[in-house]
Structures are given as C-alpha cells and as structure tokens.
C-alpha cells in the first residue's frame, strides 16, 4: 500500500518521496474521509432519515446545516484556544467528537438531541480541518510539504466520489442508523491508528503564539483567503444547483452520471496536484482557475449540448479536485508557525463559501434562472485570477522550490 501510494503521487523514482511517512499521512487522509462522509452522508439518506424520525425531508436536511454551522462558528476560536496543546491528543479529541456524535445519531429517537449531535460533529470537523494540513506539513521537510498535504487531503475527493454513493447504497440495504454506527466504528479504528502511527508534536509556546489579528495581517494570508472564498463560492453555486442546470439542458435523468464524471476527474486533479505542487504551486493555482473559467464559459455558451456539458464538467472536476490542497498548502507555507490558526481561517472561509453558494445560487435561480450562473462564476473566477496573479511575492509566490 505504501509503495503504490508513493509511486502514484511521486512517480516512484524520487528518493525524497520514498521517505514520506505514508502510513501517518494516510491516517490523516482517513480522518478527512470520516469528516466529509459524516457531513455529506445525510444528503443521500434524507427520505430514510425523514421516515425514521417522523419529520419532513426539509427538517432532515438540517442535518447538514447544523454540521456546517458547528464548523463555521468553532474553527477559529477553538483553534486559537488550543494553540498550546500537543497535536496528537488534540486530533484524538476531535475524532472522539465524531464517535460521540455518530453514536448518538445512531440511537437517538429525538430530533433535538440528534441536532445537538450534528452540531458537535461540525465543531469537531472545524477543529480537525484546522489541524490536518499543518500536521502533515510538520512531518516532512520543506520541499515535501505540498506533497504531504496532498496525501493527507486525498480523503476528501474519495469521500465525495465514492464514500457518499456507497453510504447511500448501504443505507438502502441496512438502514440509515447502521450507516452512522459504522462511521463511529471507523472513527474508533482510526483513533487506534492515530495513537500508534502518528508522531506527536508540541503546541506553540505562549511567547511564540500570534493573535488572530496578527495572523490575518501576515503578508499573503488575505489574498489566499480571498481566493478560497471566491473560488469555492463559484464552485458551490454550480454544484449545489447542478440538477436544475442539467434540467434546462434536458439532462435531468443524467445527473448521477454527470456527477460521476466530476468525481472521477476530481480524483485525477488531486493526483496531478500531488505530483507537481511542491515545485509549481503558483502555476497550478492559475491553471486551475483558468480551467474552471473555461468550463463556466463553455456551460454558459453551449450548456444545452450534452457533449459540451460532459467535457465542461470533466474540466471543472479536474480544476476543483486539487483546490483544497493548493489553498491549504499556500496558507501553510505563508503562515509558517501560525499555520493552524491560518488554517482555521481557511476552514471558516470555505464554509462561508458553501453557505454562500446555496444562498446566492438560490437567489439567482429564483430571480433570473440558471443562465445567470455562468456570468457570475466568470466574475468570481476573474477576481480569483487577478488576486493570485498579484500575490507573486506572498501567498502564491513565483519562487517555488
């Protein structure tokens, strides 16, 4: 497993790659997988959750909303408050939150109690996402940080492209509660893996900690956060409302196939990023933004042609697949020792973009229709491109070793 993963992400000939702590990085990747699957799994099980708790599907949909709110409100203050704690116990605490939340969800017959559990899961996710990239970066020398983060982030596209469909299928067979019970079991196994395989790191000494304001004003942090907000907002406007967009093109019955194409090319995207990121962070960010922009343009000009839609969605998936790795690597390198606090800001910006995608996309859909998506996406991506291009000294620098 270790050798195949090393070869896949590094070509198999780089001796520096051979020394990557693959088992430890894959533990972090599984943590990301658990986090994303816990968040997204209810979307595929809404009718079953609705029937099981005796609530409407709209109320069942708040499983996702409460989770996102937990992440949004907790990431920055919780990360700032735990700067001095050792990293491995803190990661284990976050995973414990998932065990508790998913176990409560498995057995609870109370909607209110289940919502409290979902909020707790979101809080755990906010803390965990702030830890992952910095944890991965601390395990390797500077010239391998991007690749290490890429491996640690591979759980995210795997959860979206494979985990959610598999969980939905399993839920149809054994029931939605069993799915959450299996998630608790997976998190428990992961805790044992983390305890055995992950090195522990000290928290930051009191005298070396930076305040939130100091981290936010570090050169390059604000450009990276803007790029995260604009790029992910553009993605979520389209992704959240892909079904009505496809309906306009007469492809409503092919939504699952279109999303499969997106998932496959997203996996390819994260592989490409993993191979090249340590030498070409800036170029890859510019290329991903341009590719997403070309996809949005194609969908705006010929979104009623199935061939164009498939090609554009494939390009979009390729552009988005490695985005989390690009942005987390950029903020980790820019923030240095303050990486965890900076990552918590990135998590907050990312969740704001997810929420904003639903709100902005819904307003556009209601007032103008899906034809408004492409122009809005192009404006957001043009702003992203300008900021990345301008951040050549800090954030997305020219010098990429």
Distance, CA of 357 to CA of 380 (rounded, Å): 12
pTM given for the model: 0.78
pLDDT over threshold 50, residue 313: yes
- Sequence-distant (≥ 6) Cβ neighbours of residue 45 within 8 angstroms: 167, 168, 171, 176, 179
pLDDT over threshold 80, residue 57: no
Q: How far is CA 215 from CA 122, 209, 220, 297, 330, in A?
A: 24, 10, 10, 36, 14
pLDDT recorded at residue 209:
67
The shares of helix, strand and coil residues in the chain, as percent rounded to the nearest 5, are 85, 0, 15
The confidence band for 205, taking pLDDT boundaries of 50, 70 and 90, is low
Does a structural domain hold residue 81?
yes
337 and 224, same domain (yes or no): yes
pLDDT recorded at residue 3:
36
198 and 268, same domain (yes or no): no
Does a structural domain hold residue 401?
no
Q: How far is CA 131 from CA 32, 95, 206, in A?
A: 11, 12, 18
241 and 131, same domain (yes or no): no
Domain boundary among 192, 208, 224: 208
149 and 219, same domain (yes or no): no
The residue written with tokens 């000290």 in the block is 202
Domain boundary among 151, 185, 208: 208
pLDDT over 70, % of the chain: 93
pLDDT recorded at residue 81:
84
pLDDT recorded at residue 207:
58
247 and 288, same domain (yes or no): yes
26 and 136, same domain (yes or no): yes
220 and 154, same domain (yes or no): no
Does a structural domain hold residue 221?
yes
Does a structural domain hold residue 322?
yes
pLDDT over threshold 90, residue 172: no
In tens, the pLDDT along 293-311 reads: 999 999 999 988 999 999 9
The confidence band for 222, taking pLDDT boundaries of 50, 70 and 90, is very high
- Sequence-distant (≥ 6) Cβ neighbours of residue 124 within 8 angstroms: 35, 70, 94, 95, 96, 97, 98, 101
In tens, the pLDDT along 335-391 reads: 887 877 888 889 889 888 887 887 888 888 888 988 999 999 999 999 999 999 999
The confidence band for 18, taking pLDDT boundaries of 50, 70 and 90, is very low
Does a structural domain hold residue 398?
no
pLDDT over threshold 80, residue 5: no
pLDDT recorded at residue 184:
96
Does a structural domain hold residue 25?
yes
Q: How far is CA 130 from CA 133, 284, 343, in A?
A: 7, 23, 5
Does a structural domain hold residue 395?
no
286 and 375, same domain (yes or no): yes
26 and 81, same domain (yes or no): yes
Tell me what the pLDDT averaged over the chain comes to.
Answer: 86
The token pair that represents 223 in the structure block: 């450009």
Which residue, 374, 339, 10, is CA-closest to 2? 10
227 and 160, same domain (yes or no): no
pLDDT recorded at residue 128:
92
pLDDT over threshold 70, residue 206: no
- 18 versus 99: which is more confidently predicted? 99
245, 360 contact by CB (below 8 A): no
Distance, CA of 393 to CA of 390 (rounded, Å): 8
- Sequence-distant (≥ 6) Cβ neighbours of residue 338 within 8 angstroms: 209, 210, 214, 215, 218
Structural domain tally of the chain?
2
In tens, the pLDDT along 226-282 reads: 999 999 999 988 887 887 888 888 887 887 788 888 888 988 998 898 888 888 999
The confidence band for 13, taking pLDDT boundaries of 50, 70 and 90, is very low
Q: Look up the CATH number of the domain holding residue 344.
A: 1.20.1250.20
Domain hosting residue 229, numbered range:
214-390
């Amino acid at each position: 497993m270790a050798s195949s993963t090393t070869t896949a992400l590094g070509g198999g000939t780089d001796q520096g790659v051979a020394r990557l702590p693959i088992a430890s990085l894959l533990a972090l990747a599984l943590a990301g997988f658990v986090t994303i699957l816990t968040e997204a799994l209810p979307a595929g099980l809404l009718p079953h959750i609705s029937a099981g708790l005796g609530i409407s599907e709209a109320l069942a949909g708040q499983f996702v909303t409460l989770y996102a709110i937990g992440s949004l409100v907790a990431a920055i203050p919780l990360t700032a408050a735990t700067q001095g704690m050792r990293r491995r116990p803190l990661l284990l605490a976050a995973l414990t939150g998932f065990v508790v939340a998913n176990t409560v969800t498995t057995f609870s017959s109370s909607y209110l109690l289940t919502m409290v559990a979902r909020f707790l899961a979101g809080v755990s996710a906010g803390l965990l996402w702030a830890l992952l990239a910095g944890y991965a970066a601390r395990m390797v020398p500077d010239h391998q940080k991007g690749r290490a983060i890429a491996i640690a982030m591979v759980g995210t596209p795997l959860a979206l492209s494979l985990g959610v469909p598999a969980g939905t299928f399993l839920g149809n067979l054994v029931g939605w509660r069993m799915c959450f019970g299996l998630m608790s079991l997976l998190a428990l196994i992961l805790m044992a893996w983390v305890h055995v395989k992950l090195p522990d790191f000290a928290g930051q000494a009191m005298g070396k900690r930076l305040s939130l304001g100091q981290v936010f004003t570090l050169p390059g942090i604000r450009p990276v956060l803007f790029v995260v907000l604009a790029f992910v907002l553009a993605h979520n406007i389209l992704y959240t409302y892909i079904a009505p967009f496809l309906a306009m093109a007469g492809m409503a019955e092919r939504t699952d196939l279109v999303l499969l194409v997106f998932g496959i090319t997203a996996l390819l995207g994260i592989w490409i990023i993993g191979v090249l990121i340590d030498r070409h962070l800036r170029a890859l960010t510019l290329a991903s933004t341009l590719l997403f922009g070309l996809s949005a343009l194609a969908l705006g000009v010929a979104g009623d042609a199935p061939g164009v839609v498939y090609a554009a969605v494939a390009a979009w998936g390729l552009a988005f697949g490695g985005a989390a790795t690009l942005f987390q690597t950029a903020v980790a390198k820019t923030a240095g020792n303050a990486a965890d606090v900076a990552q918590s800001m990135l998590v907050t910006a990312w969740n704001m973009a997810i929420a904003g995608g639903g709100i902005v996309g819904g307003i556009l859909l209601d007032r103008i229709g899906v034809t408004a998506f492409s122009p809005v996406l192009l404006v957001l991506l043009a702003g992203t491109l300008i900021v990345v291009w301008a951040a050549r000294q800090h954030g997305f620098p020219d010098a990429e070793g």
